[in-house]
Amino acid sequence: MAARYSFGGDEHIFVEVDEAMSLEAFFKSLSITNAVRESKIDGVTEICPANASFQVKFDPDRIAPDDLLAELKALESTASQAEAVLATRIVEIPVFYQDPWTHETLMRFRERHQEPKSTDIEYAAKVNGLGSADDFIKAHSGAPWFVSMVGFVAGLPFLYQMVERKRQLQVPKYLRPRTDTPKLTIGHGGCFGCIYSVRGAGGYQMFGITPMPIFDPKQEISYLRDFMVFFRPGDIVKWKPVDRDGYDAAVADVDAGRFAPRMANVTFDLNAFNAGPDAYNQKLEEALR
């Protein structure tokens, strides 16, 4: 579809690249926002990319809304032909699935859930036609995930599973949001995964927890001293299941300043990925070995 433009008050233009999230929509949004940034349009004060859309904030005293709209539409036609190749990184994230902390939390909020008599991961397995929680964990951790945006709360990544659409895990959010979610919970709502960067309210299903901090406003954690937010759009995540001992060891390493995320620089080529997702994912994962 052609991008859909709308004004948000006097200072914003919202651009919907597609009605559904896809890697194609992400790359088109990325190309346009990069083009806007590189064009240095006088009056543009902020560019906020999202999963399949973006928003531009501008100063109407410096550029008329209709003039900016025309600029964005011109950039769209150029960006649509851009090569879908991205220099990025793949990161291994340890996950303690079915941990006691998210389990205690989900049990406190069962009256807000579709199936109060099952856990979140048991429910997710059922609605995805998988036989058990273990089968779901294998499907969840078996392929990489693409960070399509970072935000909503500081440092929280939205993750899109890198498999054919028919194989993507999908789980509805809670019927009513919780008032509590443990920090670093691995969550899922609709087709998106996430990591809760801070403790707080939430409505995504809870599958586990990671020992790896992803947001540090004090910038005291070794790998977050340069910037308080770990993830950026375009990052690729590979979940690594760990048991309680592995989780505790990683937490001890974080506390001692020894923990270093396992990651590697890679180039992601959308066309090569679409030609064979499983084989392409395997090549990406080899960079971590």
Question: Given this model, what pLDDT does residue 160 score?
Answer: 95
What are the structure tokens assigned to 185, written together?
Answer: 């919970």
Q: Convert the pLDDT of each residue in 182-214 to its tens digit.
A: 999 999 999 999 999 999 999 999 999 999 999
Q: Convert the pLDDT of each residue in 59-82 to its tens digit.
A: 999 999 999 999 999 988 777 656
pLDDT < 70 regions, the chain: 1, 80-83
Q: How far apart are CA 170 and CA 26, in angstroms?
A: 19
Question: Distance from first CA to last CA of the chain, Å, rounded?
Answer: 39
Q: Are the beta carbons of 89 and 166 closer than 8 angstroms?
A: no
Residue of 156, 155, 161, 151 whose CA lies nearest to 190: 161
Question: Given this model, what pLDDT does residue 81 score?
Answer: 58
Which residue blocks in the chain are alpha helix, DSSP H? 23-39, 65-79, 100-108, 120-127, 133-141, 244-255, 270-275, 277-286
Q: Are the beta carbons of 174 and 109 closer than 8 angstroms?
A: yes
Strand 4-8: give its sheet, edge to edge. Answer: 4-8, 12-16, 53-58, 44-49
* Pairing verdict, β 145-150 and 205-209: unpaired
Question: Given this model, what pLDDT does residue 80 score?
Answer: 62
Question: Given this model, what pLDDT does residue 223 score?
Answer: 95
- What domains can you pick out in the chain, each with its CATH number? 4-82 (3.30.1360.40), 87-286 (2.40.100.10)
CA dihedral 64, 68, 71, 75 (to 10 degrees): 170
Beta bridge partners of 266: 88
172-197 burial, b at 16+ Cβ within 10 Å, e below that, comes to ebbeeebeebbbbbbbbbebbbbbbb
Sign of CA dihedral 74, 271, 50, 20: positive
Residue of 282, 237, 230, 224 whose CA lies nearest to 264: 237
Question: Given this model, what pLDDT does residue 78 score?
Answer: 77
